[in-house]
Amino acid sequence: MNMKIYKATENDIDAIHELILGLATYERRPQDMTASKEALAYWLFEKNIATTLIAEIDGKKVGYALYYPIFGSFSATGKVHLEDIFLYEEYRGKGYGKQFLAKVIECVFEDGYCGMEWSCLDWNTPSIAFYDKIGAEQETGRVHFDFNKKQMTDFLNKNKQ
């Protein structure tokens, strides 16, 4: 089977939505997948906030990757954050993941960036093993924080001058 990988367009929004739900299901949290197709289309294709790649085998969309720019102030370099990379389970362990990641890296370089970072859930040992096997380094010395919209609003309301 040959894998075709291409940058998604707005015409792929149904597939993107379905693939994101596939990732959310794999991560054991499908209830957290609240994105509408309209919201995805707005942010991905009207606001151009991120780049999405689609992996297709024999005409079936089997995976996606989504990344967006980040900037390293200490090094003054542009990199990307790989938010998602996902292949349906039946396509894992057959070399498609390496092929897909290689294409993501090619696109990142074509877009002018010089590096990539990502995170992985700590229970996802198959992915961690894959990342270790390909030579990715686990970052240490940082703690990840998150603020949702309500938390940001509460903070602003408590700290307005």
At residue 160, does pLDDT exceed 70?
yes
Give Cβ neighbours of residue 53 (< 8 Å, ≥ 6 apart): 5, 6, 7, 8, 64, 65, 66, 100, 103, 104, 107
Per-residue pLDDT, 13: 98
Tell me the per-residue pLDDT of 60-96, one tens digit each, with 9 for 90 and over: 999 999 999 999 999 999 999 999 999 999 999 999 9
Task: Name which of 116, 89, 88 is nearest 102 in CA terms.
Answer: 116
For 66, phi then psi, to 5°, come to -140, 125
Is the pLDDT at 28 greater than 90, yes or no? yes
Q: Cβ contacts of residue 86 below 8 Å, gap of 6+?
A: 19, 22, 23, 26, 63, 64, 65
pLDDT digits (tens, 9 = 90+) for 115-157: 999 999 999 999 999 999 999 999 888 888 899 999 999 999 9
Give the H/E segment covering residue 158.
helix 149-159
pLDDT at res. 15: 98
Please give the biggest Cα pair distance in the chain: 61
DSSP structure string for 46-100: IS---EEEEEEETTEEEEEEEEEEEEETTTTEEEEEEEEEEE-GGGTTSSHHHHH
**Domains of the chain, first to last:** 3-159 (3.40.630.30)
pTM over 0.85: yes
Edge-to-edge strand list for the sheet holding 3-7: 3-7, 51-57, 60-72, 77-87, 116-117
Burial 2-11 (b: 16+ CB within 10 A, else e): ebebeebeee
| pLDDT attached to residue 1 | 67
Average pLDDT, the chain: 95
Share of the chain above pLDDT 90, in %: 91
